[in-house]
Structure 1
Amino acid sequence: MPVVVADKPLGLTSHDVVARARRALATRRVGHTGTLDPLATGVLVLCVNDSTKLVQFMEHDSKDYLAWVSLGAGTPTLDAEGPVDATADVAGVDEAEVRAVLRGFLGVQQQVPPQYSAVQVGGQRAYAVARAGGALDLPAREVVLHELELLGVFPSVDAAPRTFAPNEQGQYAPAADGRTFTLPPALGAFPTLLVRARVGSGTYIRSLARDIGAALGVPAHLAGLVRTRVGHFTLAGAMGLEDLAVAPVTPDADALDLPRIEATETLALMLRQGKRPRHPLQGRALVLRGQELVAVVDGNGEQLRVVRAWA
């Protein structure tokens, strides 16, 4: 059984979802391609049995989110888990200023991860140190933010839209009829930005919420988060945990969002044997023989490097 797309509910960790998938699918070999925090919901891509070898490639896929960012209140976790540990008056939110701030975050950025995260420094997990009352010196890491669109400014997260439907481009937008998302309980009536984001791997939306607030001169926290896309897997195709046993599956060759090379029988054999044939290729691509996945390769235009060959 290859790749299954789960719709993670509020309050569960990604590990909780993996545990339930193991029971539903009767296997221990289940991995996911990108963690969702307990207070986040939405697309969690699960690789099952032999498809766990795909995780190393799929975890780099871009991701789409709907994010509710509350201004005027900061929390240690940077989200609605709380408690509120910093406040500031937010007299009024200038939408033009917010859009300008969001534009400033586009492209390659240096982002400091949250203290409550699984980042490890010197053998210590940041969240473990934070829960014990300490803090690690977390270095900034490079992330890429492709799109940040302000969908509205609201007097509180409870006043912000929660019902959405995909538009013609497949992006989720507020709608009268559609899917209603469950958000964590609000920490207060703080002015809230609704932002649609498309980001590269390794981006913490909690950190982005903190940084948006800082750019506006106030503390901020992530009041709600829904992941609507990972690679070419969308929320429309995600299954509830109760339906994982009968969820549709995606073959390995269709799961990877990479260019494809149709290989001759000779090339396929060479790759499986670990040989490095020449081929005019730039970047990472799949090598297929018919519908069968042979290898994932990197190329510089002259020389191929086999990342993984399938038997």
Structure 2
Amino acid sequence: MPKSENPSSGLVGAGLLIVDKDPGMTSHDVVSRCRKLLKTRKVGHAGTLDPMATGVLILGVERATKLLGLLALTTKSYSATIRLGQATTTDDAEGETLSTADASGITGAQIAAEIARLTGDIEQIPATVSAIKVDGKRAYAMARAGEDVKLAARPVTVSRFEVLTRSDVHGVGEKFVDLDVEIDCSSGTYIRALARDLGAALGVGGHLTALRRTAVGPFTLEQARTLEQLSHDPGVSLDIDQAAQTAFPHRQINADEAESLSHGRWLEPIGMKGVYAAIDPNGHTIALVEESGKRAGSVMVVRPATLQ
């Protein structure tokens, strides 16, 4: 950040914080903790992560909270463990058991065949305990209140669904199969629903026992820090310039164009599609821009003239 920027500008300390979320915390819990660590109320998150899950959670800090709604976080990656032989009310380990079955006879070929059917462009019914709204109510709240929740199938894309290891779990009267898997998918895909549907297709039931998000768009675990690590060294992972230039394509602009954008004026289009970052000669992101017709106008002015 330029030294000329003052604390009241919203640019000091602004950026994206990539958190490696601990299990048992809600996304809001993480936001609350980070507000205290960073000593600011201006912290928000881009998408949620289930309490039982760990891994990548993206937070915006200070003026970068305005970036969150523009981020094209359309792809996500996970590592997970699916248990075959047991179905639960929540499609994960936190729910009550609905049924159990002997899964030990399920072959690798059978598993591979059903995984193939769950890969690609598919229609998926979300988990009943999802945050999807039905008649203005969250599905999970309706389910917990004992209401009958019926969610419509929706299109999602599973570009990779790979089994890494298989473990046969034999307990007292229980013969489960645990699959460690890696999944790349579109935003809106429910991994617990994949576990449910895989178990159902194999006739033994299934649920998710572990989930770790390893990437969201261009942001990965390599950039992430745990809350414990943040407590020793508070600060964003990427400042607002790094964040914009990591998340969006860029266009180099000259000083005069930067001045125009900072005052809310538009530039001549250059044929770039989608939202992109306009970068001045000093490497600073002046605005996020989108072209329409004969204009390239700002969808967010990162450095308006009034803040400089």
In structure 1, C-alpha distance between the alignment counterparts of 2:170 and 2:121, rounded to whole Å: 29
Q: Name the SS for the 1:134 alignment partner.
A: coil
Question: CA separation in 2, counterparts of 1:279 and 1:106?
Answer: 37
How high is the sequence identity, in percent, across the aligned residues? 40
What is residue 288 of structure 2 aligned with on the other side?
A: 296
Q: Does the 8 Å CA contact 1:108/1:144 hold for their aligned counterparts? A: yes
**C-alpha displacement of 1:41:** 0.9
Match of 1:198 in 2: 184
Residue 80 to residue 189, structure 1, CA distance change in 2 (3 Å)? farther
CA drift of 1:24 comes to 1.0
Answer with 291-300 or 42-51: which moved more: 291-300
Instruction: Give unmatched runs, 5+ long, in structure 1.
Output: 159-187
Amino acid at match of 2:93: A
Structure 1 residue 191: Cα displacement: 0.8
> Using a 3 Å threshold, how does the CA distance of structure 1 residues 302 and 62 change in structure 2: closer, same or farther?
farther
Shift of 1:31: 1.2
**Residue 303 to residue 51, structure 1, CA distance change in 2 (3 Å):** same
In terms of mean alpha carbon deviation, does 221-230 or 91-100 score higher? 91-100
2:200 aligned residue (214, 218, 223)? 214
- Whole-Å Cα distance in 2 between the matches of residues 219 and 285 of structure 1? 45
CA 1:232 to 1:189, structure 2 compared with 1: closer, same or farther past 3 Å? farther
**For this pair of structures, how many residues does the alignment match?**
282
Q: What is the aligned counterpart of 2:274 among 277, 283, 308?
A: 283
Query: In the alignment, which of 253, 269, 281 is matched to residue 241 of structure 2?
Result: 253
Taking the TM superposition and a 5 Å limit, the aligned residue runs for 1:38-49 are 38-49=51-62
Which stretch shifts more, 221-230 or 141-150? 141-150
- 8 Å Cα contact 1:115/1:135 also seen in 2: no
Amino acid at match of 1:29: K
TM-score, L = length of structure 2: 0.82
CA distance in 2, matches of 1:211, 1:142: 15
Is the partner of 2:247 in helix, strand or coil? coil
Does structure 1 conserve the Cα–Cα contact (< 8 Å) formed by 2:56 and 2:215?
yes
Letter of the 1:243 partner, please give it: Q
Is 1:110 paired with 2:123?
yes
TM-score, L = length of structure 1: 0.81
Secondary structure of 2:110's counterpart equals helix
Contact 2:104 2:175 in 1 (8 A): no
Tell me if structure 2 keeps the 8 A contact 1:126–1:135: no
CA change 1:157–1:12 in 2 (3 A) is farther
Structure 1 residues 189 and 19, CA gap change in structure 2 (3 angstroms): farther
| Aligned partner (choices 279, 299, 302) of residue 307 of structure 1 | 299
State the distance in 1 between where 2:203 and 2:192 align: 17
- Residue type matched to 2:276 in 1? A
**Mapping for residues 221-236 of structure 1, pairs under 5 Å:** 221-236=207-222
Which of 65, 74, 77 is the equivalent residue of 2:87?
Answer: 74
RMSD: 2.5
Whole-angstrom CA distance in 1 between matches of 2:201 and 2:297: 42
- Distance across 1 between alignment mates of 2:119 and 2:256: 44
**More divergent stretch after superposition (147-156 vs 210-219):** 210-219
Cα distance in 2, alignment partners of residues 218 and 305 from structure 1? 55
Question: Relative to 1, partners in 2 of residues 1:300 and 1:282: Cα closer, same or farther, differing over 3 Å?
Answer: farther
Show the counterpart of 2:142.
129
- Match 1:27 to one of 40, 54, 63: 40
The structure number with the bigger radius of gyration is 2
Distance in 1 of aligned mates of 2:299 and 2:29: 30
Partners of 1:34 and 1:59 within 8 A in 2: no
Which string of whole-angstrom CA distances, capped at 9 and with x for unpartnered residues, describes residues 76-98 of structure 1?
11100021112233242322332
Q: Which residue of 1 aligns with 2:230?
A: 244
Q: CA deviation at 1:69?
A: 0.6
- Counterpart Cα distance in 2 of 1:260 and 1:59: 14
**C-alpha separation in 2, matches of 1:138 and 1:77:** 14
Q: What is the CA deviation profile of residues 48-67 of structure 1, one whole-angstrom value per residue up to 9, with x for unaligned ones?
A: 11111121133624222111
| Superposition deviation, residue 189 in structure 1 | 5.6
Residue identity matched to 2:226: G
User: Which of 70, 77, 80 is the aligned partner of 1:64?
Assistant: 77
Q: 1:168 aligns to what? A: none
Secondary structure of residue in 1 paired with 2:275 = strand
Preserved contact between residue 282 and residue 300 of structure 1 (Cα < 8 Å)? no
Relative distance call for 1:25 and 1:213 in structure 2 (3 A) is: same
